[in-house]
C-alpha cells in the first residue's frame, strides 16, 4: 500500500527542528509522497528548498487568500516567472476566503482569477482553498480552470461536490472526516465516484480526532483513510490504490 498526501505544508517553520523525522514517520506507514503548496511569495523559496533533494516531495506555488494583506500586484508577475522556471505540479494554494469578512472581496477575486489564468497558461491544475465562498469558487473554476484542480479540505454540500466533479475537480478529504459531527462530509465521501477523491493531511494544521491537540503530520492520514474505507464499504488497500492514482493523475506525478 502506498499513499500520497495531496496537501501538506511541510515547509512550515514548526517542522524545522524535526522535518526529517516527520518524513521518516510518514514513510514508515507508506505515505511516500507529498504535495507541498506555498501560501505567500516569501514562502516560495522555502518550499523549493524543502522539496529539492528529497524524493517524493512536489512543490506548488501560489498566493493564499488568508494572507491577502501580504500579497502585492507584482507577486503575480513573479509567480508567472516561478511557474516557468521551477515547473511545479500545480498553482496554489490559492482561492477565496470570506470567513472573516468580504472587505477585501475585489482583491481576493482578482488574485484568484489571475492565478487561474496563470495555471491555464502553464497547463497546470490548481490547489484551491475556500471558506464561505464555495459557490463563487465553483462559478470561477467552471469558466476558467482548464486543467482541473482540487478543492482542498472540502467541506461543501453534496450538490457542490457534484458540481466540482462535473467541472473536472477533485475533493481533498482531510481529517475533519474523523469527527462524528462531520456528517455532511461523510455523506459526500460515501456517495461521490471514486475518482473524485484525494486524501490530505493539511499538516501541521487540522489534526483528526485521534490526534486532537497535536501538531498534525502526514503519517496521520492513515487514520482517516480507514474512516473513508468504512464509509465507502471497501478495503483500505483498494482505496489507497484509487487515491494514489487520482493524485498521480491530477498532478502528473
Q: What is the pLDDT of residues 160-180, one digit of tens each?
A: 999 999 999 999 999 999 999
Domain ranges across the chain: 3-251
Q: pLDDT (tens digit, 9 = 90+) per residue, 176-233?
A: 999 999 999 999 999 999 999 999 999 999 999 999 999 999 999 999 999 999 999 9
CA 230, 234, 236, 240 dihedral sign is negative
Residue 147: predicted pLDDT: 98
CA nearest neighbour of 193 among 175, 166, 174: 166
Q: pLDDT (tens digit, 9 = 90+) per residue, 108-153?
A: 999 999 999 999 999 999 999 999 999 999 999 999 999 999 999 9
Note the pTM of the prediction, 2 decimals. 0.97
The C-alpha cell at 191 is 456517495
| Alpha carbons 157 and 187: distance in angstroms, whole number | 9
Residue 51: predicted pLDDT: 98
Per-chain mean pLDDT for the chain: 97
- Is 101 a residue whose pLDDT tops 90? no
| DSSP character string of 179-220 | STT-HHHHHHHHHS-GGGEEE---TTS---GGGTTSPP-GGG
- Is 100 a residue whose pLDDT tops 90? no
The C-alpha cell at 228 is 473513508
CATH of the domain spanning 3-251, picked from 3.20.20.140, 2.60.40.420, 3.40.50.720, 2.60.120.10: 3.20.20.140
Averaged pLDDT, 223-245: 98
Residue 159: predicted pLDDT: 98
| Alpha carbons 189 and 166: distance in angstroms, whole number | 16
Amino acid at each position: 500500500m502506498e499513499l500520497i498526501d495531496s496537501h501538506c505544508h511541510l515547509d512550515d517553520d514548526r517542522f524545522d527542528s524535526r522535518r526529517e523525522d516527520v518524513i521518516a514517520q510518514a514513510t514508515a506507514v507508506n505515505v511516500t509522497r507529498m504535495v507541498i503548496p506555498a501560501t505567500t511569495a516569501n514562502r516560495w523559496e522555502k518550499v523549493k528548498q524543502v522539496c529539492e533533494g528529497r524524493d517524493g516531495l512536489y512543490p506548488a506555488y501560489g498566493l493564499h487568500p488568508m494572507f491577502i494583506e501580504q500579497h502585492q500586484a507584482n507577486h503575480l508577475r513573479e509567480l508567472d516567472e516561478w511557474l516557468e522556471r521551477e515547473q511545479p505540479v500545480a498553482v496554489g494554494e490559492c482561492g477565496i476566503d470570506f470567513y472573516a469578512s468580504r472587505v477585501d472581496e475585489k482583491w481576493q477575486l482578482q488574485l484568484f482569477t489571475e492565478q487561474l489564468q496563470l495555471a491555464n497558461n502553464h497547463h497546470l491544475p490548481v490547489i484551491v482553498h475556500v471558506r464561505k465562498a464555495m459557490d463563487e469558487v465553483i462559478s470561477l473554476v467552471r469558466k476558467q480552470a482548464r486543467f482541473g484542480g482540487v478543492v482542498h479540505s472540502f467541506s461543501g454540500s453534496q450538490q457542490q461536490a457534484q458540481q466540482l466533479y462535473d467541472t473536472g475537480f477533485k475533493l481533498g478529504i482531510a481529517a475533519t472526516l474523523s469527527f462524528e459531527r462531520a456528517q455532511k462530509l461523510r455523506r459526500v465521501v460515501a456517495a461521490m465516484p471514486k475518482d473524485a477523491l484525494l486524501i490530505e493531511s493539511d499538516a501541521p494544521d487540522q489534526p483528526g480526532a485521534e490526534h486532537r491537540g497535536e501538531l498534525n503530520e502526514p503519517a496521520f492520514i492513515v487514520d482517516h483513510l480507514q474512516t473513508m474505507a468504512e464509509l465507502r464499504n471497501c478495503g483500505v488497500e483498494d482505496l489507497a490504490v484509487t487515491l494514489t492514482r487520482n493524485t498521480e493523475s491530477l498532478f502528473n506525478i
